[in-house]
Amino acid sequence: MKSIPRSTSTAAGKVGNVLYVLVGVAALVLKKHYAGPGEQLVHNYGGNVAASFAVYFLCLQPPILAMLKKPFAAGLALAVVELFEAFDGFGVMTNTYDPFDFVANALGVGLALVVDTTLRFHTRAPLEGNGVRGD
């Protein structure tokens, strides 16, 4: 039986996750400079999407069985960001309540899950001539 790849458990997987966290942080910081289509939406909800995106990749760090890693990370990230909204920033930050923030948080976690699934799929070993992965 072949071992199940644990790409997020390797050093390269962890570095990739940290880079995606930095992408989310950069989007959070830079959203205020956005001027273009949907500007109001980006200013109002872009921070939620970006922060949720980053939190998902942070939640991939614990050592968990590979087949449970993505659902665990998505559930934990969604719980963290939604509780942050519901409890007014945990008293650490002031937060303006907006019910659409909950939707934006879910979109951010969903986007992270799509990015994670898509890019992890493309980084697997290519198929050899006989249709078997060359792992």
Which is more confident, 104 or 87?
Answer: 104
Q: What is the pLDDT of residues 37-78, one digit of tens each?
A: 999 999 999 999 999 999 999 999 888 888 899 999 999 999
pLDDT for the residue numbered 13: 80
Q: Which of 26-40, 54-68, 89-103 has the lowest mean pLDDT?
A: 89-103
Tell whether the torsion through CA atoms of 17, 19, 23 and 25 is positive or negative: positive
Per-residue pLDDT averaged across 14-32, rounded? 91
User: Among 47, 45, 56, 48, which residue's Cα sits nearest to residue 109?
Assistant: 56
Q: Which of 11-15, 40-44, 78-82, 109-113 has the lowest mean pLDDT?
A: 11-15
pLDDT for the residue numbered 11: 79
pTM score: 0.78
